[in-house]
Structures are given as structure tokens and as C-alpha cells.
Structure 1
């Protein structure tokens, strides 16, 4: 049991450290990790609902709404009509938002390479299989 607990602690520490390094390096370039993560999600899933973003990142819908309001004001996203519910809006990324992602992508890729580039192809494939197995196990755990 001690080995499993150690794995959890080390995994959490790695995640927090990676997050902190990327956030600080992006901030040094005038970017925001939180904003970039939301823009990446919107770009990948557009048009998407703010509720989907809140669920993905585990934050309150109000937090997402405030961030979206700011990104819309800055011209990075736009609200578009929901084709299935005329009262609702979905989010889409603008060309300006894509440019912001394009500017931050080299920094993100550098960190990925500096971290996961230390693994051999075989180690990376094995790690990928392990992560998939853990994701499947967590998906089976009842939330409440």
C-alpha cells in the first residue's frame, strides 16, 4: 500500500510542478495558462457550452462566465446561437484567439519535450498505456 500512496503523491507533485512551471513561463511572456487552456478547449470543441468548460476544468460556471466575458471583450472568443436552443449561446474561438494559441504553442511544446522527451519511445508507450488504465479505473469510480 505504501508504494501506491507514494505513486499518488509523486504523480500529484509532478502535475503541480508542470502546471506551475508552464504558468510562470507563460506569465513571463504576458500570457495566461488558465486562458490558454480555455481557448484550447473552445478551439477543439467549438461551438461549445460554457457548462462544458466548467465541467472539464472542475470550476464553477460563474468562474467560466467571467473568464469568457473577458475573452469576448478581448476579441478571443465569440458567443454564437445554439442551433438546438434559441435561448442558449455557445462559444467559438476567433482568429485573434487562434493567434494567441499559436503564440503560446511553442512554449507548451517546449515543456512537453523537456519533460516527456526524457522518455524512450518504449517508456512513453508504456506510460501512455498506464495512464489509460488509470483513467479507465477512475472513470468507473462512482462520484456520489
Structure 2
């Protein structure tokens, strides 16, 4: 049991370091975070969507998502507009510059799963394993939503 626990810890650390390395490279080469890349990828699939739907999709705190989107807007990677039918609602759309950036970034990290042609059962196992990790690591109480 101790060996299996150590192997699981090493695998988690490798994953965590790989994600950190990917984000560091993403920031250095393209000036965006993994969250911002996720937003842009989602917007390639739904080029114009309500900000509230994006927030629900990503299970993000409004302020955290808002800061990321404001930065993307300043970099002209997306546009934010007010819904003419509901002045409180905002919509977000990817720009041509944003589309070009998505094409330039290597397809890696969690968003790759949406583009990868793989066995659905493998994705189900990954989902179960990640959920199991949350429970085994005692992080369920810290999980959003």
C-alpha cells in the first residue's frame, strides 16, 4: 500500500509540474494563462455567448473570470458587449486575433480533451479518477459548486 501511495503522489506531482510548465510557457510566449486559453477555446466553439453561460461552464467565481476576460479584451483577443435586450447581461465573442492565437498555441492541457478523438470510456475513467483524487486528497470541501 505504501508503494502505491508513493506512486500516486509522484504521478500527481508530475501532472502538477507539467501543468505549471505549460502555463509558464504559455505566459512567456503568448501572454495568457491557461484559464484565458480555456475561454478562447470555448469561444471558438461558441463564437458569441453570454458571459453568465461561460461562468457556469467554467465553474468560476465572477471576479476571477471577469479579470481574465478584461485582460483578454485589453489584448484584443475577445470583445465584450452589452445585450441590447437586457442591459445587465453581457456577451463575449472571440476576435480574429484571438482565433489566430488559439491556432498558434500547442493543443495541450485539459482543453485538449475537447479536440482529442479518444475512447469515451477512457474519458469516463479519467473523470472518475480525478473525482476520486479530490476525495482521497481531502479536497472536496474546497471544490467549487
With structure 1 as the length reference, what TM-score do the two structures score?
0.61
The alignment of Structure 1 onto Structure 2 pairs a total of residues equal to 128
1:131 aligns with 2:126: yes
Q: Can you give the 5+ residue segments of structure 2 that lack an aligned partner in the other structure? A: 111-117, 134-139
Compared with structure 1, are the counterparts of its residues 137 and 22 closer, same or farther at alpha carbon in structure 2 (3 Å cutoff)? Answer: closer
Q: Can you give the 5+ residue segments of structure 1 that lack an aligned partner in the other structure? A: 113-123
User: Greater share of helix residues, 1 or 2?
Assistant: 1
| Cα distance between partner residues in 1 of 2:42 and 2:124 | 24
| Cα distance between partner residues in 1 of 2:26 and 2:13 | 20
Compared with structure 1, are the counterparts of its residues 31 and 91 closer, same or farther at alpha carbon in structure 2 (3 Å cutoff)? Answer: same
| Cα distance between partner residues in 1 of 2:51 and 2:12 | 27
Q: Tell me what 1:42 maps to.
A: 43
| Cα distance between partner residues in 1 of 2:71 and 2:20 | 23
1:27: how far off?
2.9
SS in 2 for 1:29: helix
Q: Once the two structures are superposed, what CA deviation does each residue of 1:66-109 show, in whole Å capped at 9, x if it has no partner?
A: 222222222211123447635311111011110111111xx335
SS in 2 for 1:48: strand
Native 8 Å contact 1:42 1:48 kept in 2: yes
Q: Could you say which structure has the greater relative contact order, defined with CA pairs below 8 angstroms and 6 or more residues apart?
A: 2
Q: Tell me what 1:119 maps to.
A: none
1:39: how far off?
1.3
With structure 2 as the length reference, what TM-score do the two structures score?
0.60
- Structure 1 range deviating more: 12-21 or 77-86: 77-86
1:26: how far off?
2.0
RMSD: 3.9
